[in-house]
Amino acid sequence: NAGVTQTPKFQVLKTGQSMTLQCAQDMNHEYMSWYRQDPGMGLRLIHYSVGAGITDQGEVPNGYNVSRSTTEDFPLRLLSAAPSQTSVYFCASSRRDSYYGYTFGSGTRLTVV
Protein backbone atom coordinates (compact mmCIF):
# COMPACT_ATOMS: atom_id res chain seq x y z
CA ASN A 1 0.00 0.00 0.00
CA ALA A 2 1.22 3.48 -0.86
CA GLY A 3 -0.56 5.19 2.06
CA VAL A 4 -0.87 8.95 1.46
CA THR A 5 0.82 10.24 -1.68
CA GLN A 6 1.50 13.93 -2.19
CA THR A 7 2.71 15.52 -5.39
CA PRO A 8 4.78 17.45 -6.16
CA LYS A 9 7.45 17.20 -3.44
CA PHE A 10 8.91 20.60 -4.27
CA GLN A 11 7.46 23.60 -6.10
CA VAL A 12 8.48 27.18 -6.75
CA LEU A 13 5.76 29.61 -7.77
CA LYS A 14 5.74 33.23 -8.72
CA THR A 15 3.45 35.59 -6.84
CA GLY A 16 -0.01 35.50 -8.39
CA GLN A 17 0.30 32.07 -9.97
CA SER A 18 -2.16 29.33 -9.14
CA MET A 19 -1.52 25.66 -8.65
CA THR A 20 -2.97 22.47 -7.21
CA LEU A 21 -1.26 20.28 -4.66
CA GLN A 22 -2.34 16.69 -5.13
CA CYS A 23 -3.14 14.23 -2.35
CA ALA A 24 -4.30 10.65 -2.77
CA GLN A 25 -4.80 7.83 -0.26
CA ASP A 26 -5.46 4.16 -0.90
CA MET A 27 -6.65 3.13 2.58
CA ASN A 28 -10.34 3.98 2.09
CA HIS A 29 -10.10 6.55 4.87
CA GLU A 30 -13.10 8.78 5.41
CA TYR A 31 -11.26 11.76 6.92
CA MET A 32 -8.70 13.84 5.04
CA SER A 33 -7.02 17.10 6.02
CA TRP A 34 -4.52 19.63 4.77
CA TYR A 35 -2.02 21.28 7.11
CA ARG A 36 0.73 23.78 6.62
CA GLN A 37 3.85 23.83 8.75
CA ASP A 38 5.90 26.96 9.26
CA PRO A 39 9.00 27.18 11.47
CA GLY A 40 8.01 27.59 15.12
CA MET A 41 4.29 27.47 14.33
CA GLY A 42 3.60 23.75 14.46
CA LEU A 43 0.93 22.52 12.05
CA ARG A 44 -2.07 24.64 11.19
CA LEU A 45 -5.21 23.15 9.70
CA ILE A 46 -6.22 24.62 6.33
CA HIS A 47 -9.23 22.53 5.24
CA TYR A 48 -10.59 19.14 6.11
CA SER A 49 -13.14 16.63 4.83
CA VAL A 50 -15.16 13.95 6.58
CA GLY A 51 -16.18 12.21 3.36
CA ALA A 52 -16.67 12.57 -0.38
CA GLY A 53 -18.59 15.75 -1.15
CA ILE A 54 -18.10 17.23 2.34
CA THR A 55 -15.44 19.80 3.16
CA ASP A 56 -15.01 22.43 5.84
CA GLN A 57 -12.61 25.19 6.81
CA GLY A 58 -9.83 24.86 9.31
CA GLU A 59 -7.79 27.53 11.11
CA VAL A 60 -6.19 29.21 8.09
CA PRO A 61 -8.41 28.66 5.01
CA ASN A 62 -7.97 32.00 3.24
CA GLY A 63 -6.30 31.73 -0.16
CA TYR A 64 -6.98 28.00 -0.48
CA ASN A 65 -9.77 25.91 -1.98
CA VAL A 66 -10.48 22.20 -1.69
CA SER A 67 -12.90 19.68 -3.12
CA ARG A 68 -13.50 16.00 -2.42
CA SER A 69 -15.19 14.32 -5.35
CA THR A 70 -13.89 10.85 -4.42
CA THR A 71 -12.87 9.13 -1.19
CA GLU A 72 -9.30 8.78 -2.46
CA ASP A 73 -8.42 12.30 -3.60
CA PHE A 74 -8.30 15.62 -1.78
CA PRO A 75 -6.54 18.31 -3.86
CA LEU A 76 -5.60 21.70 -2.42
CA ARG A 77 -5.76 24.68 -4.77
CA LEU A 78 -3.83 27.89 -4.27
CA LEU A 79 -5.84 30.55 -6.03
CA SER A 80 -3.26 33.35 -6.32
CA ALA A 81 0.01 32.49 -4.62
CA ALA A 82 1.52 34.93 -2.14
CA PRO A 83 4.92 34.85 -0.39
CA SER A 84 3.05 34.27 2.91
CA GLN A 85 2.02 30.86 1.53
CA THR A 86 5.63 29.69 1.44
CA SER A 87 5.48 26.65 3.69
CA VAL A 88 5.56 22.88 3.88
CA TYR A 89 2.14 21.38 3.18
CA PHE A 90 1.05 18.06 4.60
CA CYS A 91 -1.96 15.99 3.63
CA ALA A 92 -3.27 13.42 6.11
CA SER A 93 -6.04 10.84 6.24
CA SER A 94 -7.65 8.71 8.92
CA ARG A 95 -10.46 6.29 9.60
CA ARG A 96 -13.72 7.71 10.88
CA ASP A 97 -13.01 6.51 14.43
CA SER A 98 -9.52 8.05 14.27
CA TYR A 99 -8.29 5.23 16.51
CA TYR A 100 -5.06 4.73 14.61
CA GLY A 101 -4.60 8.45 14.10
CA TYR A 102 -3.77 10.27 10.95
CA THR A 103 -1.47 8.87 8.27
CA PHE A 104 0.57 11.72 6.85
CA GLY A 105 2.04 12.20 3.43
CA SER A 106 5.68 13.17 3.04
CA GLY A 107 4.85 16.81 2.34
CA THR A 108 5.15 19.41 -0.40
CA ARG A 109 7.71 22.15 0.10
CA LEU A 110 6.33 25.27 -1.60
CA THR A 111 8.24 28.49 -2.15
CA VAL A 112 6.48 31.57 -3.50
CA VAL A 113 8.81 34.26 -4.87
Partner 1 sequence: SQQGEEDPQALSIQEGENATMNCSYKTSINNLQWYRQNSGRGLVHLILIRSNEREKHSGRLRVTLDTSKKSSSLLITASRAADTASYFCATSRAGTYKYIFGTGTRLKVLA
Nearest-approach distance from CB 64 to partner 1, in angstroms: 15
**Chain residues in the site for partner 1 (CB under 8 A):** 4, 31, 33, 35, 40-45, 48, 50, 56, 58-59, 90, 92, 98-107
CA atoms of 26 and 65, how far apart (whole Å): 22
3-class secondary-structure state, position 84: helix
What minimum distance in Å lies between the beta carbon of 37 and partner 1?
9
Choose between 10 and 14: whose C-beta lies nearer to partner 1. 10
Nearest to partner 1 of 20, 98 (CB atom): 98
- Asked if 94 contacts 101 with a C-beta cutoff of 8 angstroms, the reply is yes
CB-wise, 13 or 90, nearer to partner 1? 90
Q: Which residues contact 88 (CB under 8 A, 6 or more apart)?
A: 36, 37, 38, 107, 108, 109, 110
Nearest approach, Cβ of residue 68 and partner 1 (Å): 13
DSSP category for residue 62: T
